[in-house]
Amino acid sequence: MTKNVYVGMSGGVDSSLSAALLVEAGYSVTGVYMKNWTRDLPGFICPWKEDFKDAKQVAVSLGIPLISFDFENEYRQKVVDYMVESYLQGLTPNPDIVCNQEIKFKLFLNTALEHGADMIATGHYARTKDGKLYKGLDSSKDQTYFLYRVSEEALDKTIFPLGEMTKKRVREEAAKRNLVTATKPDSQGICFVGEVGIKQFLLSELGPQPHGSIVNQKGEEIGEHDGAIYYTIGQRHGLSVGGGLPYYVTHKDMSKNIVYVTTELTDKRLWSNQIHTNNLWWINNKPEANKTYQVKCRYRSEDIKCKINLSQDNTAVIELQDEVRAISAGQSAVIYDGDLVIGGGIIYS
C-alpha cells in the first residue's frame, strides 16, 4: 500500500526538493505550509505570504496538493513566549530547538496523522532509522543539534529526504527539476519570524529596557548598556565601549542590571571544562556511565570529547576533555556517539 506522506513545505529549496524526491519515490505526497507567524515588525515585513506563494508554485509543479495548518497561537505560546521569558532571565535560548520539539515534530506530526498521514517529512539535513537520529551527511549543514529533543516515536514516523545530500547537490537537483526555489537564499534570523535581529524582535515584544553599568575585570564601571537581556556570554561587538583592547562579555547580573566584561581572552570566567545541564532529554537510552561521548555546546561548534555524570534530579554535569570558551546558559549541550545523537540538556552554568 502506498504511504501517505505530509511534507512540511516552507517555501525554501530544501523542503521543495524534499517534496519532489518523495513524489519520485512513489509516495502519496501532500504539502503542508505551517502558518506559525504572520505579524510584521517595525521596519520589517514578515515573509510568510511570499513563502506560501513559493510553496504553492512548487506544489503545483509537482502535481501535489498544498494545505495550510494554522499553528500561530501554539507557536506564540510554546516558542515565542519561552524565548522572551528566557531572555528576561538573562539566558540565551535556542527557539529552533523548541520549535522542532513542540511544533514540527509534535503538533505538525499529530495534526498530519489526524488528517490521514502515515508519515511526515521535512527538509532537515539529518538521518533517521528505526527511531534513531543520526547526523546528516553534509557536516557543514547537519541540523541534528536542533533536533535532539525530538522523540523516538516521532522519528519513527519521519522521513528526512536530504539526509544523504550536500547543500550544493540539493541546489543542483532543484535546478534540474526547474523548481522555482532552486536559487532562493536560505532564510536567516528567528525560526519562522524571518530575518529580523533578536534585539529588534525583543524591543518590539518588550519595549525599551532599563540601562545599566558595564563593569570590567578590575571592577571599574567603563560604560553603559541599553539592556542586559541583549548581551550574550563571549560577545565582543555592540558593547559601545570605545578605545583600547576589545572587551568580551563574561557574565551578567540581571538583578543588579550589570554586564561584566574583560579584555583578557584567557580570563577564567570565559572558559570552562564542565557544563551543567538540566531538563535532560534522551532520544532512545540514557548515556552510559564512564563512556566517552562527544558534545556540541552550540550550533557549528567542534565536537568535544566528554563524559556524562547523571544525577537523580534530571540534571547532569558534562566533563569536557578540553576547555570550551563562552558557554552560554540557555543554550543546549547535545551529546553524540559518533554520528548517533544520544540527546542532551539545557545549559544552566
Q: Would you kindly state where each structural domain of the chain is located, as residue ranges? A: 4-176, 210-262, 269-347
Assign 3-state DSSP to the chain and report helix, strand, coil percentages, each to 5: 30, 30, 45
Q: Which of the residues 46, 99, 297, 306 is marked catalytic?
A: 99
Q: What is the CATH number of domain 269-347?
A: 2.40.30.10
Give catalytic status of residue 99 as yes or no: yes
- Answer yes or no: are the C-beta atoms of 22 and 162 closer than 8 Å: no
DSSP reduced 3-state for 87: helix
- Answer yes or no: are the C-beta atoms of 271 and 325 closer than 8 Å: yes
Amino acid found at 9? M
pLDDT tens for the chain, 349 residues: list them.
899 999 999 999 999 999 999 999 999 999 999 999 999 888 788 889 999 999 999 999 999 999 999 999 999 999 999 999 999 999 999 999 999 999 999 999 999 999 999 999 999 999 999 999 999 999 999 999 999 999 999 999 999 999 999 999 999 999 999 999 999 998 866 665 656 688 889 999 999 999 999 999 999 999 999 999 999 999 887 777 766 788 999 999 999 999 999 999 899 999 999 999 999 999 999 999 999 999 999 998 999 999 999 999 999 999 999 999 999 999 999 999 999 999 999 999 8
Question: pLDDT per residue over 45-78, tens digit each?
Answer: 888 999 999 999 999 999 999 999 999 999 999 9
Position 41 scores a pLDDT of: 84
CATH 2.30.30.280 fits 210-262, yes or no: yes
Q: What is the CATH number of domain 4-176?
A: 3.40.50.620
Q: How many other C-beta atoms can be found within 10 angstroms of the C-beta atom of residue 244? A: 8
Q: Give the N- to C-terminal CA distance of the chain in Å, as an integer.
A: 51
Give catalytic status of residue 306 as yes or no: no
Among residues 94, 98, 63, the alpha carbon closest in space to that of 79 is found at: 98
| C-alpha cell, 2 | 502506498
Position 62 scores a pLDDT of: 98
Give the dihedral sign, CA 13/15/16/22: positive
Q: How many H-runs (helices) and E-runs (strands) does the chain carry?
A: 9, 17
Element (H, E) at 221: strand 221-225
